[in-house]
Amino acid sequence: MGKVVSGWLGRSLVLSTLLWAAPLPGLTPVPMVWAQSGVDEATSIKVYEQVSPAVVAIETEDGGGSGSIVDANGLILTNAHVVGSSPIVQVRLADGRRFQGEVVGYGDNRLDLAAVRLRNGPNNLPTVTIAPPNSVRVGQSAFAIGSPFGLQGTLTVGIVSRIDSERNLIQTDAAINPGNSGGPLLNSNGQLIGVNTSIFTTSSSGGSVGIGFAIPTDAVQTLLA
């Protein structure tokens, strides 16, 4: 039997949390690109170079995950289960700079979203553009950027496999692993179409089997508003 791992899905599912993971011993985190057969290489490179500077790693005492800068003054979108109950988190930018971040908001009704504001950060940061609501189609290309197992700046590529209207989630086969939580799922224009939140897995280690889930932009816009 498989299970869905996440912080905040329905009670009928077996749950746990996708957390930030420390880098593997002896390895230095470096940007990685995995290209799925059939996806245009130039598009993958364009999306990565456009968006990766605006994707951050978030660290807490209990773990962490990833996030997207959505405002040039340092507002970051992530998962509620990434920040947990921590009022202050550590944020590592793509260029290696570190700042404290204050958790300034959570999604309503236990929606797995949170907002973090950088403290004393720069005011000209790169940002992730949010795609229009209801613009996602099954079969379109999907790109995930985050820090799986602490490997900040990792890109994985797939498609939108399904739209789960019942739970308001986007399903994708782009590889999502512990540490991707809170990071962006993107379209081929480099726009955020969802916030990665959970995966379906058949192993106790919680590794990707090609079924991941992201919270769509309609919920994101509600939180940011």
Enumerate the active-site residues.
81, 112, 181
Tally of CA atoms within 13 A in the half-sphere of 83 that contains its CB = 29
Closest CA to 54 of 79, 71, 29: 71
Q: What is the DSSP string of 64-81?
A: EEEEEEEETTTEEEE-HH
Secondary structure E strands in the chain: 3-5, 32-33, 55-60, 63-71, 75-78, 88-92, 98-106, 114-118, 141-146, 154-164, 169-172, 184-186, 192-201, 212-216
DSSP state of 23: P
